[in-house]
Structure 1
Amino acid sequence: MRKNRLRLVGVLAAVLVAVTAPAVQAKDEPPTLAELAQRHGRYFGSATDNPELTDAPYVSLLGSEFDQITPGNGMKWYATEPQQGVFDFSAGDEVVNLARANHQKVRGHTLVWHSQLPDWLTGREWKPRELRAVLKKHIQTEVRHYRGKVFAWDVVNEAFNEDGTYRETIFYKTLGPGYIADALRWAHQADPRVKLYLNDYNIEAIGPKSDAYYKLAKKLKAQGVPLHGIGLQAHLALQYGYPTTLEDNLRRFSRLGLDTALTEVDIRMYLPADEEKLATQAEWYRDVTKACLAVRRCVGITLWDYTDKYSWIPAFFEGEGAALPWDEELRPKPAYYAIRDALK
């Protein structure tokens, strides 16, 4: 009888261990980047793209480590209005649905950009009146479709040249610089609650291009145009040096009453990667993260995808790569630990 009782106690103990073990393990798991960022009132996100969503290990990490997603291509004009007046939101919707399932927020990217436009738009001359109507319809149809599903929009993307002059896009050449204020107003009409951003690369440091955004933002705010933030893409490269005025730059935009966000972060290098380059890259990721945390109105950081496996860099910059905190096997690199360190 005593033997049976002891055996029963042993079985019960084993069951108890089996039931409680996962809970204990879960408690011991280190916090994710998103959880660490949330302690500072920030988000930590990643871009993604539709072809990658068939990769189960990738999707699992995307869903667990981050609390914000940006669709890399699925919301751009060529994808959403492939024929004039014919809209297709399936690619963007797939990313939004994934984000909703994972309780992540979505940044809309992008409404007005000179690149990745459909042929029907670029293949002819437009009268100003016609193009205004086309632009307004595109913006408002897309913003209405995603109303309540995205927290922010990159309304106009890459509007300036490196020297701070306006980029000669189809919109600028046909409509003049006023197209930017119009785009913001139209987006605001379609969703009065969404945050509206201007977004660009090489504006991390103070210089001619970021000065152009500063002047434009000041002017738009003075005119009552609905602009809520500036997106600094932060596609950095080791060979060009770290943007040491990043924090000061974030501060001057916040003094205008604007949010800022680091929207497309990657830090590329000449290949092959070695220990020294990876250590420098890690330092830069730490510094970029700290700069955002140091400025109250820097609301969050988004990696331009989180793994080298799906990085855009090698296809666009010959001989360069290894730009992200996870390698091609989804293993964390020194940069990942540096980000964690900064967020702690």
Structure 2
Amino acid sequence: MMKKFFIAGFILIEALAVSVHGQDNASLKTLKQAFHGKFLIGCADDLTSNNDAYQASIKAQYDIVTPENCMKPQSLHPSEDVYNFKTADAMLDWCQKNGLKVWGHTLGWHSQTPNWFFQAVNPKTEETQQPQQGQPPRRPGARPNFDPNAPRPTMDEMWARGIKGDLASKEVALERLEKHIKTVVGRYKGRIIGWDVFNESIADGGDGSTENLRNFSWYKVVGPEVLAKAFKWAHEADPKAKLYYNDYNIEQGAVQNKGKHASSMLLLKRLIKEGAPITGVGIQGHWHLDTNLADVEKAIENYASLGLKVSITELDVTATGENSGAFSVNQGDRKIPVENYIKQAEVYKKLFEIFMKHSKVIERVTFWGLSDTRSWRRGQDALLFDGELNPKPAYKAVIEASKAK
């Protein structure tokens, strides 16, 4: 039976692929054509190492590009007096030249943010620490007595280890963040249509009774107030830009109003109450074959009930393995069964049918990457195109979903 099922599945997936490749180019819509007038279709990339085929694919398939890394604080603002705008500027110039919009990502985050934001003193050079008698020399910043078999440190432990000296005062940290936001948003005013103002503030594992914010980074040095302030500064720098809160797994628990979704509702209600000029919420959408689609739809409805727009900001659906959007994700078995691609197409189709149903609320659906080999989920074949940019069965399924009413 299994052998017959495998053969049948292989025939089906081949038929789907042929139907995509075999259609006349004039009749096969691109992604942005299929969803024109409903919501924007985007991809994530820094546009630094693409060949002609990838550049052509971006122009043909998408309305908007999110920078994958080059606008994150670590890349853009590595030290207090240094900004690296070269890659971001080049990306923006290319997009505007080719008729693509740009979404900014991200102004505030606990990750990929340099430690100087949080340190009382930011030395320009670090002296090599002298080893104790009988101990080998250490490189600057190395962890003493490292045990490879020790339990993996938590995120807050890793953050604390990177801080040198005392923490900055709340006032100093806020002053630095305000300058960063106003410098970056001000530079691209009128050229970037919106920003992920703060990213992934909610910790995993909560029961939904509180906002459950992370206990390090901005939330330790400043506290919960940092989010509303960041939104206000971004709005002052560009009053016309859309401003989003962005996070992963915040749809989980929506049907029962528990867990991370319940925490996200508490956070968003507070921001609105505090007068933060928030216009939308980004559900990242790092999903898998068994994602709870009822939670996805209910989350969209709940956020809309707050008067917010919604975007799916980092979409991928793994064809194998677990996928939470967090660290230590199981990359799965590289020998992916053919039936997984069929199931992946089904999941993508159902997701886009949900998005179409709520298209008055959905502003943007952005895929996080360009192909299965140009993706942070490489090895899990999570996108619509394979490594050669050939459309997979999931591509045709998404196009079919665009016909839903």
Question: What is residue 177 of structure 1 aligned with on the other side?
Answer: 224
Question: What is residue 61 of structure 1 aligned with on the other side?
Answer: 57
Distance in 2, matches of 1:51 and 1:192, equals: 30
Comparing both chains, which one has the higher relative contact order based on Cα–Cα distances under 8 Å and sequence gaps of 6 or more? 2
Q: Determine which of 305, 315, 320 is the counterpart of 1:265.
A: 315
What is the TM-score normalised by the length of structure 2? 0.74
Residue 43 and residue 285 in structure 1: after superposition, are their counterparts in 2 closer, same or farther (change >3 A)?
same
Q: How does 1:139-178 map to 2 (within 5 A)?
A: 139-162=181-204, 163=206, 164=208, 165-178=212-225
- Aligned-residue offset at 1:119: 4.3
Question: What is residue 278 of structure 1 aligned with on the other side?
Answer: 341
Note if 1:330 corresponds to 2:393.
no
- Aligned-residue offset at 1:288: 1.6
What CA deviation, in whole Å up to 9, does each residue of 1:213-262 have, x standing for no partner?
Answer: 11121222223220100000000123x53332211210111111100000
- Aligned-residue offset at 1:305: 1.1
| Maintained 8 Å contact 2:228/2:274 | no
Distance in 2, matches of 1:37 and 1:306, equals: 18
Note if 1:36 corresponds to 2:44.
no
The one-letter amino acid paired with 1:229 is G
| Maintained 8 Å contact 2:202/2:263 | yes
Distance in 1, matches of 2:176 and 2:104, equals: 19
Equivalences, count: 312
Q: Determine which of 50, 69, 76 is the counterpart of 2:72.
A: 76
Question: What is residue 45 of structure 1 aligned with on the other side?
Answer: 42
Distance in 1, matches of 2:169 and 2:270, equals: 27
Distance in 2, matches of 1:118 and 1:107, equals: 22
Structure with higher helix content: 1
| Maintained 8 Å contact 1:199/1:231 | yes
What is the TM-score normalised by the length of structure 1? 0.86
Q: Give ranges in structure 1 of 5+ residues lacking alignment.
A: 1-25, 315-319
What CA deviation, in whole Å up to 9, does each residue of 1:59-109 have, x standing for no partner?
Answer: 110111111110100100011111213222111122211211221111100
2:293 is paired with a residue whose SS is: coil
Structure with higher strand content: 1
- Aligned-residue offset at 1:279: 1.0
Q: Give ranges in structure 2 of 5+ residues lacking alignment.
A: 1-23, 118-161, 321-331
- Aligned-residue offset at 1:32: 1.4
Question: What is residue 398 of structure 2 aligned with on the other side?
Answer: 339
Question: What is residue 199 of structure 1 aligned with on the other side?
Answer: 246
Note if 1:132 corresponds to 2:162.
no
Q: RMSD over aligned Cα, in angstroms?
A: 1.8
What CA deviation, in whole Å up to 9, does each residue of 1:244-299 have, x standing for no partner?
Answer: 22112101111111000000001112332222111111111112212122112111
Note if 1:188 corresponds to 2:188.
no
The one-letter amino acid paired with 1:61 is S
Distance in 2, matches of 1:169 and 1:157, equals: 14
Distance in 2, matches of 1:134 and 1:219, equals: 24
Note if 1:109 corresponds to 2:105.
yes
Q: Percent identity?
A: 34
Q: Determine which of 191, 194, 212 is the counterpart of 2:263.
A: 212
Question: What is residue 123 of structure 1 aligned with on the other side?
Answer: 163
| Maintained 8 Å contact 1:204/1:243 | no
